[in-house]
Chain A
Amino acid sequence: MRIYVCVKQVPDTSGVVAVNPDGTLNRASMQTIINHDDLSAMEQALRLKDATGCQVTAVTMGPPPAEGMLRELLAMGADDAVLISAREFGGSDTFATSQIISAAITHLGLGEEDIIFCGRQAIDGDTAQVGPQIAEKMDIPQVTYCAELEKNGNEIIVKRMLEDGYMKIKVQTPCLITCIKDNEFVPRYMTVNGINDCYSKPLTVLDFEALKDEPLIELDTIGLKGSPTNIFKSFTPPLKGVGIMLEGNGKETCADLAARLLDKHLI
């Protein structure tokens, strides 16, 4: 059994974010981190590995420096890693990205007992689309918003979260599961020995040459040209006007606030 965990290196949107005058993001100025939901997916996969001894493969698509992130995942406990990286893949939207990742996993082989884990969504785009689109393109079932799961042989029971509760869903492998960040699945730390070993674990780079014979890879299904959606404009929203700082912080200030709310018929 092999678990593929799809991960993404994303800009840390909680840190300093610089926007160019034309409304595009100044990515060079931002720190990169491993997407939070993807780390939860990795943790779920590693717990299955702890229980069953299965192989865990970290997969990402991105520029060559994304290797650093893959090494961190190897230091956490993944067995091997795959970096999908080529100029031809650049500019892909979610449709084209899922096309390429599907081709890569097909290339590596998805067995009867295998699972693909993804994070629910990435904090840069927040789209939550790549996972289900990989499932569709690989013609396997999907379960999204997984908070926890239980595996018995080829059968998996997933607790799938809804806004007002959850579903218990039974699904057979091979399948794709997207995981949410959950307090139960706090990602483990890299271990010191994991770090000692991570640069000697296998890391495969799949470039355009390696994947070009996969049926899913056509020049009009990948990269900017193969992306159905395009960015028409990007911009920063304006700030709201400045409000009033109330004097002091005692009883009178609170009474003043209450009076103002009363005036506005808000209470």
Chain B
Amino acid sequence: MAFNSSDIAAFKDIWVFCEQREGKLMNTDFELISEGRKLADERGAKLVGVLLGDNVEGIAKELGGYGADKVIVCNHPELKVYTTDAYAKVLCDVAMDKKPEVILLGATNIGRDLGPRCAARLRTGLTADCTHLDIDMDNYVEFLEKSSTLDLSNTKFDMEDVNLKQTRPAFGGHLMATIICPRFRPCMSTVRPGVMKKAPFDQAKADACEIEMYPVTIEKSDLRTEVLEVVKEAKQLVDLIGAEVIVSVGRGISKDVEGGIELAHQLADAFGNAVVGGSRATIDSGWLSADHQVGQTGKTVHPKIYVALGISGAIQHKAGMQDSELIIAVNKNENAPIFDIADYGIVGDLFKVVPMMVEAIKEAKESK
């Protein structure tokens, strides 16, 4: 039977495309499986991971430990390294065959390459960079009450609605939009890494996870690009998402850029398990490389402590860090908007304050 994306009733199950690099699962996979579990439970559906690679069945069961009922494994030498053509062909072929209701992908540089290509081929909708997902209308309304400024008293919701409600920031974080895909299936979303909470790992569930080996054929003629090499950047990888503490610098370091970045590193060292980040201004000016960027166009972070040094707090920066557990801001302009969201604010020149802060934190740690 031909695949028809508007035959909604034919689609079932929640799928997560599980990305592997060099044969290793990624943190995003576990976040998405954990979130997918919640959605599958709301829908009363099965949660299925889809894993493409070369001899990757060995790592599939781990996904069960975070909530997958089943993992479909597609092995092929041409799937060892990601290419758009091979991955899109396999994912679309399997999806056309098995007709999932939802496909989640990580909004990584690979997920955001694969997702739109597949959505176009499957003739369905895709919502990019989601930060919140609901199927159950009760849960969605509760989310709106908590996370929006909307007055819902006069709004009627169809409580029977089972469309995936995909919420994402738009317009630089000034606005949140909830997107639905009512007329086509599968409903596809890419989900921003680091946003969904990873469930605790359960070995028993991992053991019970069903593995389905799905045979795939890939012809040379299917492939129009060739990966010549994959290079891990030797320069230090800034893992903003995994860091417990982030010390970020902004335009306020402009009078001594190198000195300002050095101070941020000193403060990060004083905290320990901390990395240095930057506002858009520091990236645009070329002071820090793009992987340091926190904010709407950079990374969304929620560390335990976020220190903003000389960052005015433009709304697109806030969008990437305002959910940090604790925010400390140092800025010489007492009216800087960053102070509106800071838990602790200090008005002063960062070049004077930070060295004292480094000493104070070292002393406090020693006093423990």
Direct contact of A and B (CB under 8 A): yes
Of A1-9, A118-126, A196-204, the stretch lying at the interface with chain B is A118-126
Query: Which one of A125, A238, A254 contacts B357 once the chains associate, using CB atoms below 8 Å?
Result: A254
Assembled-state Cα–Cα distance A238/B143 (Å): 12
A93-B174 in contact (CB<8A): no
Does chain A have a CB within 8 A of B175? yes
Assembled-state Cα–Cα distance A75/B148 (Å): 43
B112-A234 in contact (CB<8A): no
A245-B339 in contact (CB<8A): yes
B176-A229 in contact (CB<8A): no
Q: For the side of the interface on A, what is the size category?
A: 35 or more
Query: Which one of A128, A164, A238, A259 contacts B116 once the chains associate, using CB atoms below 8 Å?
Result: A128
* Binary per-residue interface labels of chain B (96-134) against chain A in the complex, 1 for a CB within 8 Å, 0 otherwise: 000000000000111011011101110111111100000
Does chain A have a CB within 8 A of B344? yes
Q: Which of A95, A133, A237, A250 has the most CB of B within 10 A?
A: A237
A169-B227 in contact (CB<8A): yes
A228 neighbours in B (Cβ, 8 Å):
119, 123-125, 181, 183-184
Does chain A have a CB within 8 A of B353? yes
B180-A126 in contact (CB<8A): no
* Binary per-residue interface labels of chain B (158-197) against chain A in the complex, 1 for a CB within 8 Å, 0 otherwise: 0000010100011111111111111110000000000000
Query: Which one of B109, B116, B280 contacts A133 once the chains associate, using CB atoms below 8 Å?
Result: B116
* Given the contacts A165-B230, A235-B150, A145 and B178 also touching, CB distance less than 8 Å: no
* Given the contacts A13-B172, A229-B125, A235-B175, A258 and B165 also touching, CB distance less than 8 Å: no
Assembled-state Cα–Cα distance A103/B58 (Å): 45
Which residues in window 47-66 of A have CB below 8 A to B?
Answer: none
Of B210-218, B247-255, B358-366, the stretch lying at the interface with chain A is B358-366
B174-A13 in contact (CB<8A): yes
Does chain A have a CB within 8 A of B314? yes
Query: Which one of A144, A234, A259 contacts B178 once the chains associate, using CB atoms below 8 Å?
Result: A234
Query: Which one of A137, A168, A183, A237 contacts B148 once the chains associate, using CB atoms below 8 Å?
Result: A237
Q: How many A-B residue pairs have CB under 8 A?
A: 276
A249-B126 in contact (CB<8A): no
A236 neighbours in B (Cβ, 8 Å):
148-149, 174-176
* Given the contacts A133-B119, A228-B124, A229-B181, A249 and B227 also touching, CB distance less than 8 Å: no
Closest to A221 in B: B123
Closest to A186 in B: B286
Which residues in window 205-250 of A have CB below 8 A to B?
Answer: 227-240, 242-246, 248-250
Does chain B have a CB within 8 A of A166? yes
Q: Which of B123, B286, B297 has the most CB of A within 10 A?
A: B297
A164-B364 in contact (CB<8A): no
Query: Which one of A98, A142, A172, A267 contacts B113 once the chains associate, using CB atoms below 8 Å?
Result: A142
Assembled-state Cα–Cα distance A231/B121 (Å): 22
Which residues in window 193-211 of B have CB below 8 A to A?
Answer: none
Which residues in window 8-35 of A have CB below 8 A to B?
Answer: 11, 13-14, 17, 19, 23-25
* Given the contacts A23-B150, A243-B344, A168 and B175 also touching, CB distance less than 8 Å: no
Does chain B have a CB within 8 A of A255? yes
B353-A234 in contact (CB<8A): no
Does chain B have a CB within 8 A of A107? no
A237-B147 in contact (CB<8A): yes
* Binary per-residue interface labels of chain A (167-181) against chain B in the complex, 1 for a CB within 8 Å, 0 otherwise: 111111001000011
A232-B180 in contact (CB<8A): yes
Which residues in window 88-146 of A have CB below 8 A to B?
Answer: 93-95, 98, 123-133, 135-137, 140-145
CB distance from B97 to the nearest CB of A (A): 19
Closest to B226 in A: A170
Assembled-state Cα–Cα distance A163/B230 (Å): 12
B231-A249 in contact (CB<8A): no
CB distance from A168 to the nearest CB of B (A): 4
Assembled-state Cα–Cα distance A244/B305 (Å): 15
B84-A164 in contact (CB<8A): no
B228-A257 in contact (CB<8A): no
Does chain A have a CB within 8 A of B256? no
Query: Which one of B148, B177, B225, B290 contacts A141 once the chains associate, using CB atoms below 8 Å?
Result: B225
B328-A257 in contact (CB<8A): yes
Assembled-state Cα–Cα distance A103/B177 (Å): 28
Does chain A have a CB within 8 A of B233? yes
* Binary per-residue interface labels of chain B (329-362) against chain A in the complex, 1 for a CB within 8 Å, 0 otherwise: 0100010000111111111110011001101110
Query: Which one of A11, A142, A244, A251 contacts B345 once the chains associate, using CB atoms below 8 Å?
Result: A244
B237-A164 in contact (CB<8A): yes
Closest 6 CB pairs of A and B: A249-B348, A13-B172, A228-B125, A141-B224, A229-B125, A258-B364
Extra inter-chain contacts (11) besides given A133-B116, A239-B341, A240-B322, CB under 8 Å: A25-B174, A132-B115, A144-B113, A162-B110, A165-B232, A228-B183, A234-B176, A234-B178, A236-B176, A240-B341, A249-B346
A-B contacts, 14 of them at CB < 8 A, read A17-B174, A123-B172, A133-B117, A157-B228, A170-B226, A170-B227, A175-B224, A229-B125, A234-B177, A236-B149, A237-B149, A239-B340, A249-B330, A261-B364
Interface residues of A (CB under 8 A from B): 11, 13-14, 17, 19, 23-25, 93-95, 98, 123-133, 135-137, 140-145, 157, 161-172, 175, 180-183, 227-240, 242-246, 248-251, 253-255, 257-262, 264, 266-267
